[in-house]
Amino acid sequence: MTPAPILPGATIGILGSGQLGRMLALAARRLGYRVWVFSPEADTPAGQVADREVTAGFADLSAVGEFARGVDVVTFEFENVPAATAAAAAQNAPVRPSGDVLRVTQNRRREKDFLTRAGLPVAPYQPVGSLAELETGLARLGCPAVLKTAGYGYDGKGQVTLEQPTQAAAGWAALGGQPAVLEAFIPYEREVSVVAARGLDGTFAHFGVIENTHRNHILDVSAAPAEIPASVAAQAIEAARAVLEQLGVVGVLCVEFFVAPGGRLLINELAPRPHNSGHLTVDACRTSQFEQQLRAVCGAPLGDPGQFQPAAMANLLGDLWAAGEPDWAAALAVRGVALHLYGKREARPGRKMGHLTALGATVAEARERVVAARRKLGGA
């Protein structure tokens, strides 16, 4: 039996309080929900727009339990919430997606093992727990290969590329001897993602396929729809559906893919939450990824994810502030461009401070507009 929906006027609890939590809170506010956020820090991007900001560490399970008692449903805005934190919250309120989804997706080995059991395509890999296992893995997979920490990695953190077997010891030391996963290096033509949602009743909705480019391992520009063959797009969407269904996700999840020569898809990683590549849905789609997350965790019908026009998104990193305040007026003078800033007090190199979105008659036009607008901001 499907639980009763959580109606507007109820309180949404968000574990984590960065920009994803901020945009989720804004979507919730628009629909008449109240929002509490739980964060180790104060005056956070999500806390600035929430009804209540609870400041405590994720290891403070008593505070987590008290937080959950005050809300009607708990969700999270990043996957590195400890499993014990999710379990403590679940004693007092439904947690969606579940802690089991977190457990799988916050560890690369468990994630790849899940995908392999599900019959979904991943690059050849080998778990690594010692230097000897790393050397064995390099002999099996060959070089180059990528060594990644098993847990808590994002934006290229916790990984190193090994070009030669002789680099094994240095690579192992660079990751601090942590449990890791060694992946074969895959030459690919492009990177794409599918942001999708699964409702409490098992319904599925997706935002199509989004094409992504990275700079220094951080997402730089996303554009949708991805300019790939329709057959490849259909395969990516069906793979995303399989992930959400087999994991039992209630909420939004992003599947990131490499597109290898010949249109062969390989899943790179999963993110069980709204995703940076889906930010363009706020301006480009009838229902944004954040409203879709809200609808799903509250047991409401999923919204129409249809896209009005081709769109592109460009991240704004702290580097833009190196020469002083960016020229916002110049960027906003570019037709069809929207600005989103996250309320972060300190701009640091590589830190995501906001993003620009542009719409256009074509994907190329949208991408050109958003890149031109960012260039007008000045900075590094």
Positive or negative, the Cα torsion across 369, 370, 373, 375? negative
Count of other CB atoms within 10 angstroms of residue 50: 27
Token pair belonging to 124 = 């050849």
Q: Is residue 360 part of a domain?
A: yes
How far, in Å, CA of 301 to CA of 321, rounded? 41
Residue 152: predicted pLDDT: 65
Which residues contact residue 177 at a Cβ distance below 8 angstroms, ignoring those fewer than 6 apart? 131
Please report, as a single letter, which amino acid is at residue 205. A
Token pair belonging to 23 = 């945009």
On the question of pLDDT at 156 being above 90, the answer is no
CB 162 within 8 A of CB 168: yes
Q: Is residue 106 part of a domain?
A: no
Task: Read off the pLDDT of each residue in 183-189 and give the average, rounded to a whole number.
Answer: 91
Q: Is residue 15 part of a domain?
A: yes
3-class DSSP state of 323? coil
Q: Please check whether residues 220 and 352 belong to one and the same domain.
A: yes
Number of domains in the chain: 3
367: which DSSP letter?
H
Tell me which of 154, 184, 214 is where a domain ends.
184
Range of the domain at 31: 11-95
Instruction: Give the bridge partners for 122, in sequence order.
Output: 267
Closest CA to 294 of 195, 194, 197, 208: 197
Q: Is residue 6 part of a domain?
A: no
Q: Is residue 113 part of a domain?
A: no
pLDDT bracket for residue 379 (50, 70, 90): low
Percentage of the chain surpassing pLDDT 90? Answer: 92
Percentage of the chain surpassing pLDDT 70? Answer: 98
pLDDT bracket for residue 380 (50, 70, 90): very low
Distances (CA, A) of 297 to 96, 98, 279, 303, 349: 6, 10, 19, 13, 34
Alpha helix segments (H runs only) across the chain: 19-30, 61-69, 83-90, 99-105, 108-117, 131-141, 168-174, 230-247, 281-284, 289-297, 328-332, 363-376
Residue 153: predicted pLDDT: 58
How far, in Å, CA of 86 to CA of 76, rounded? 9
Return the CATH number at 334. 3.30.470.20
On the question of pLDDT at 164 being above 90, the answer is yes
Return the CATH number at 15. 3.40.50.20
Q: Please check whether residues 142 and 263 belong to one and the same domain.
A: no
Q: Is residue 290 part of a domain?
A: yes
Tell me which of 80, 95, 110 is where a domain ends.
95
pLDDT bracket for residue 80 (50, 70, 90): confident
Pairing of strands 251-260, 264-271: antiparallel
**Per-chain mean pLDDT for the chain:** 95
Q: Please check whether residues 252 and 310 belong to one and the same domain.
A: yes
Q: Please check whether residues 177 and 239 belong to one and the same domain.
A: no
Q: Please check whether residues 332 and 250 belong to one and the same domain.
A: yes
Q: Please check whether residues 235 and 251 belong to one and the same domain.
A: yes
DSSP 236-259: HHHHHHHHHHHHT--EEEEEEEEE
How far, in Å, CA of 264 to CA of 108, rounded? 21
Residue 157: predicted pLDDT: 67
Which residues contact residue 273 at a Cβ distance below 8 angstroms, ignoring those fewer than 6 apart? 20, 76, 77, 78, 79, 251, 252, 253, 254, 293
Q: Please check whether residues 234 and 346 belong to one and the same domain.
A: yes
Residue with tokens 């490849």: 232
Task: Read off the pLDDT of each residue in 249-264 and give the average, rounded to a whole number.
Answer: 96
Residue 177: predicted pLDDT: 87
Q: Please check whether residues 73 and 134 belong to one and the same domain.
A: no
Q: Is residue 117 part of a domain?
A: no
Q: Please check whether residues 244 and 156 belong to one and the same domain.
A: no
Which residues contact residue 141 at a Cβ distance below 8 angstroms, ignoring those fewer than 6 apart? 124, 125, 126, 182, 183, 184
Residue 258 C-alpha from the chain's centroid: 16
Q: Please check whether residues 242 and 366 belong to one and the same domain.
A: yes
Return the CATH number at 178. 3.30.1490.20
Q: Please check whether residues 156 and 237 belong to one and the same domain.
A: no
Closest CA to 311 of 265, 256, 355: 355
Tell me which of 166, 184, 202 is where a domain ends.
184
Rounding to the nearest 10 degrees, give the CA dihedral for residues 239, 209, 230, 197: 50
Q: Please check whether residues 130 and 265 belong to one and the same domain.
A: no
Which residues contact residue 59 at a Cβ distance below 8 angstroms, ignoring those fewer than 6 apart? 82, 84, 85
Q: Is residue 350 part of a domain?
A: yes
Q: H helices then E strands: how many in the chain?
A: 12, 16
Tens digits of residue pLDDT in 217-242 = 899 999 999 999 999 999 999 999 99
On the question of pLDDT at 370 being above 50, the answer is yes
On the question of pLDDT at 155 being above 80, the answer is no
On the question of pLDDT at 286 being above 70, the answer is yes
